[in-house]
């Protein structure tokens, strides 16, 4: 229903509320009015030219790590 893609923030223009971002090697400019305080190096989720959320890299890594752990466990258990 809403196509949105993660992009890495390369440069923030706090006065115009815009940021230069990178999608897998393509750079473009998006609005950041909805994600106040976003910083260079963070990832944002972009929809219709606006960053709609700052992505939580820790969560992203932990999410994967949990699944891997779950797979590596010999004893089957529910996902946490």
State the number of binding residues for another protein (CB under 8 A). 46
Using an 8 Å Cβ cutoff, are 27 and 7 in contact? no
Task: Report how far residue 5's alpha carbon sits from residue 22's, in angstroms, rounded to the nearest whole number.
Answer: 11
Positions in 25-64 near another protein (CB under 8 A): 25-29, 31, 33-36, 43, 45-50, 52-53, 55-57, 59-64
Kindly state the tokens that stand for 58.
Answer: 């820790």
Task: Please spell the DSSP secondary structure of 42-73, one letter per residue.
Answer: -EEEEETTEEEEE--HHHHHHHHHHHHHHHH-
CB of 39 to another protein, least distance (A): 15
CB of 13 to another protein, least distance (A): 14
76 binds another protein per the rule CB under 8 A:
yes
Task: Report how far residue 5's alpha carbon sits from residue 25's, in angstroms, rounded to the nearest whole number.
Answer: 13
List interacting residues with another protein (CB under 8 A).
1-6, 8, 20, 22-29, 31, 33-36, 43, 45-50, 52-53, 55-57, 59-64, 67-68, 70-71, 76, 78-79
């Amino acid at each position: 229903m809403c196509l949105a893609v993660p992009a890495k923030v390369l440069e923030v223009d706090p006065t115009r509320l815009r940021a230069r971002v990178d999608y897998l090697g393509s750079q473009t400019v998006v609005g950041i009015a909805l994600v106040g305080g976003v910083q260079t190096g963070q990832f944002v989720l972009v929809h219709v030219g606006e960053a709609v959320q700052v992505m939580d890299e820790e969560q992203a890594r932990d999410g994967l790590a949990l699944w891997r752990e779950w797979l590596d466990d010999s004893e089957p258990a529910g996902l946490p």
